[in-house]
Structure 1
Amino acid sequence: MAKLLVALCLGLLTLVTATAADELPRVVVYATGGTIAGKSNGGSSETTKYSAGQVTAQQLLDAVPEIANVSHVDAVQFTNLGSNRLNTSLVLELSKNISASLASDKYAGAVVTVGTDTLEEVAYFLDLTVDSPKPVVIVGAMRPTTALSADGPMNLLQAIRATVHPSSRSRGALVVLNDRIGSAYYTTKTNSRTLDTFKAIEQGYLGTFVDGGEPLYYFTPSRPTGRRFFNISALHILPKVDILYSYLDMDPMLLRLTVEHNGAKGIVIAGEGDGEADRTWLPEMVGLMARGVPVVTSTRTAAGTVGAGLNFGNGTASIPASTLNPPKAKILLQLALAQHPSDVSAVASAFKGV
């Protein structure tokens, strides 16, 4: 009788455990490569000389068994590249795949692993093109899998914890690294090496992780001011946009050359200070705007805004990027041009309030 009772209890415990496991939410992880999937042959102290995109999505997940206590995960090996080898055509397809996954009741949210070099651009693109209250969490690492104290495993676990947490809904795309949660709209890479590189310098973090890794948000869900959604379902390629860096003695002819010889449909200027540049650029900028080629002025500084000035950013010579840095201004300009080709006024409207 005692053995029978023990067997019944063990069976009941197994049933309860299995039921609890079955009730865990399901997450889809799209792996694109990057340092989080990188390996080095130089020993555990090597954090910079390594090859990105060497570990598969499933291997990343298998290295963090604690994930099984948080969520069921489906791994999708979308690409396995260093993020500097990604392009907007790939990210366009990635966004469509994520949108399709989140349209299903199967998934509570999506995680994207990506290299940190262009993580902010991928995250910003997804924020503008995935229209779902379900979380899309972008995660990476600053150290490869072979490094001592590699940050990827914890970042990945926290990203999945954030994805399944109810408080993560309706916040747009999120960036999770180094115990921090940031808005993809504002977060940028601020240091080439350190673990605490991803920050929103002016806007701050949305939250952190406490009590064994549970996300703690400082604010109720909200969306960034001026954030717009772009329907990309019918797009297969985006218009070409180039970024020109402002510096002393820069030849204004470069503005014309990037359009006439490089095929750019729009230009972003990484300007000095408040989006400024040499006044010799003005005739070329005004001429391009008049021809239907939008010129957007951002700033090469790490933070701050670019507003409408007397010359640059006044709607005639250029369109002010406001809070957007040059890479993000480029993404928004590409999406706006895809929606409104050669319509400078409509493109300018997309930048209002950002």
Structure 2
Amino acid sequence: MKCGTEKTERDEGPLPSKAPNMRTFALFLLVNIHDTISVLTGEMPLAWLGGLGELVFTALYLATIATALDERRRDTRVPLILLAALAVVTFGLALGYWTRWQMCFPLLSLATGVTLRRNPRLIGAALGALGIIYGLMAMLRADSDSTGDIVAAGWGTGLAGVVAASVLNLVESNATLRATREQLAHAAVERERLRFSRDLHDLLGHTLSVIVVKAEAVRRLGPRNPEAAFGQAADIEAVGRQALTEIREAVTGYREGSLTTELDNARSLLDASGITAEIRHSGPPLPPQTGALLGWVVREGITNVVRHSGASHCEIEVRGEPGRVHLEITDDGRGVGPAEPEAGKVTGGNGLKGLTERLAAAGGSLGSGPDGKHGFRLVAELPVDEDEEVRAA
């Protein structure tokens, strides 16, 4: 079990790296331990002034790091003001004591790197200038007689800030990438969930309507025409088997509707419901994706006609035009009620809303509303790619 868990963690990607925090940068204050001991033992001239300067430096250093790491304040002027004050105290200690408090410069470099890490040009100029100034000061000190030590001092001072900025930027970039990956994964799950809910709604809504209509036909025909009732019962069995297949396809993501199949199913359902069907289909063959989308429209539209309209006549027209296909479903039923929808708006339940989103994603549109005083009209339009249309032919 343990090995399997470890393998899963490796497969999911690297574990989140721990970002340097306030405690990490506070530990660097130990580089001043030698001068601190000199203050405490009284070996340093004007030890009280040096101790006061160290306290001010420490407070400014910690405040600068804290505000620069704080997401709410790092983009304000507060870290810059604190960094400027820290630089003044650093140069004051170094110039006042000359050979003391030299390790404040690497600490100033660290604070500069943390504060300016989001501004590559400014941080390069600031750390470069700080390294050069510290190198010059080391050269002027009486105890400095090695050119290599002077260069190393200046180089190390500037490099401290560069390393701090690079590490923080790397950690923050990794955190942003992880957050983005989680958001993308969540969005993918939501899209798949939405696709599945739409497919399931369209499949079950239509199929259950067919089963209900044919079951009613069996009940009506049973006493007086058993043979016709048996035929309707066989249709119910066939519809149920087809629904199982379609649900499996929807679950696996391979559900592809067919406009021709849905038109045939629509005629059969309308006839079984006692609704006169008139279907007209003109134009060149449609690409599979366009036909599948229109098939969903036919399925949902006819389901609504059978379940809600109370119509006696329904017309379905598919008209292919250059670069576009037009589908219209009209009936003479009760329509949508007394309240008329706004222009361009789709009325109806979740099925029509889902279809509107599907067609909009493909560059098409779906509109519905009353057809005159009575009845209801559903209109769908989709663009047709000419190359795909030629391949479909």
TM range (shorter): under 0.3
Give the structure with the higher percent strand: 1
Report which structure shows greater RCO (CA 8 Å, sep ≥6).
1
Name the structure with the higher helix share. 2
Quick check: which has more Rg, 1 or 2? Answer: 2
